[in-house]
Amino acid sequence: MAEKQKKKKSKVIIVGGSIAGVSCAHALTSIGWQVVVIEKTAAPPTGSPTGAGLGLDPLAQMLITSWIANPHLLQHATLPLTIDRNQATDSSTKVSWTLTRDEECNFRAAHWADLHGLLYNALPPDIFLWGHQFISFSISEDKSYIKVKAKVLRNDKIVEIDGNLLVAADGCLSLIRQNFLPDLKLRYSRYCAWRGVLDFSGREDSETIEGIRKAYPDLGKCLYFDLGSKTHCVLYELPNKRLNWIFCVNQPEPEIKRNSVTMKVSEDMIDEMMKEAEKAWVPELVKVMKETKNPFLNAIYDCDPLRQIYWDNVVLIGDAAHPTTPHGLRSTNMSILDAAVLGKCLEKWGVENLHSALGEYQSIRVPVTSKQVLHSRKLGRIKQGLHLPNGKQFDPKKATSEDLKELQQKNMPFFTSVY
């Protein structure tokens, strides 16, 4: 009877059904917690073209395979990225040369929707409340439970959900975080990223694909960072005949919607982007960009590391806890590790010692994510040719061996550490 009551009390409400939210659902269902996930989108994005590419580090791969019933599914849904290559391209001559090359990268490339579908399909579907928009929460006086209010978007009905723990997995613009840190402002990086995924299925022998493979011969196993004059581009292959590219452009902070860092783009904006791409990159890469349907634009933000990521019965994970720039391939990987560590801490302490569990989670993750956020920020500034704190700018033509070393993924703080 006591065991039944304990299980009944161990309930978590997760706000946000993206990678951080579904990872947290896996970590907590695996230790016997009752899980409810609130997500404002109407249905799971499985099989949709939503999102773009991402890279999974070895630890994230290990955790995902521990959560899904068939570990081989991760291998089928990803491609190996065994090479981390930084190169530079001269904008006037379009000649490229290698800056660094690491052949022991051990990442795997995935499309966001593929990874989300893999994780979602391995969970009980009845734990998800799709089409529910988070409104507010309240904590009981004795801190034993939390009540969350949400609106059912199809009929505007307000529902209340009780639990012991609220997990904010609601992204870098987290509404839950605003309750505790109302004055926190995200920091604009001074550049935006054009992103796109070219589906070349059925066109494997086209001039465009033959050309890009000749210009970037390690595609299919390589994470390319191509540095130009005050810009850089990322290129790698995804499963099912797709190419993922990111083109970063220095510009003043754009106007964005309050609840998104992704902007709607017009044909004129795309045309202007293509003109800039033609100035910076080899024709083969520009052709890939031109043939990509529906490229989109992200304003790149992070924030100075938070010292606190839990309050009473509320805890932050993923981008809600540590908004970061994308250059260290950290966002998804940090979200997965956050979920795993939170699960381990809750399993160790139990719901009856919830605050001890959250305190330990915070003490483990904050030192790691803080250094990784700041390192990713520095990587972005180096690769965009922006001034560093010491006043210098990275110049590929004048870079020393020490300068070049900073470009590599393996020099990310805690890169090989186990959680």
Q: What does the pLDDT look like over 335-351, one tens digit per residue?
A: 999 999 999 999 999 99
For position 19, what pLDDT does the model report?
96
Q: Which CATH class is domain 72-111+186-302?
A: alpha beta
Q: Tokens 């801490």 label which residue?
A: 345
**DSSP 8-state code for residue 127:** G
Q: In what order do the strands lie in the sheet with 132-139?
A: 132-139, 146-152, 157-163
- The arrangement of secondary structure in 2-50+115-183+305-386, i.e. its CATH architecture, is 3-Layer(bba) Sandwich (3.50)
Tell me the pTM: 0.94
* pLDDT value for 6: 44
Q: pLDDT tens across 51-99, in order?
A: 689 999 999 999 999 999 888 999 999 999 999 999 999 999 999 999 9
- Which tens digits make up the pLDDT trace of 296-336? 999 999 999 999 999 999 999 999 999 999 988 899 999 99
Half-sphere exposure of 207 (CA within 13 A, CB side): 4
Band (50; pLDDT cuts 50, 70, 90): low
* Strand residues in 10-73 grouped as ranges (E): 11-15, 34-39, 53-56
Distances (CA, A) of 152 to 36, 37, 44: 15, 13, 16
Which candidate, 115, 327, 95, 86, places its Cα nearest to that of 218? 86
Could you tell me the two tokens for 151? Answer: 């609106």
Per DSSP, the residues of 331-396 read: HHHHHHHHHHHHHHHHHHH-GGGHHHHHHHHHHHHHHHHHHHHHHHHHHHHHHTTPPPTTS----T
> Distance (Å, rounded) from C-alpha 82 to C-alpha 105?
5
What does the pLDDT look like over 253-268, one tens digit per residue?
Answer: 988 766 678 888 899 9
Give residue-wise pLDDT tens across range 90-109. Answer: 999 999 999 999 999 999 99
Q: Cα–Cα–Cα angle for 34, 36, 41, nearest 5°? A: 160
The structural domains of the chain, with segments of one domain joined by +, span: 2-50+115-183+305-386, 72-111+186-302
Distance CA 300, CA 245 (A): 15
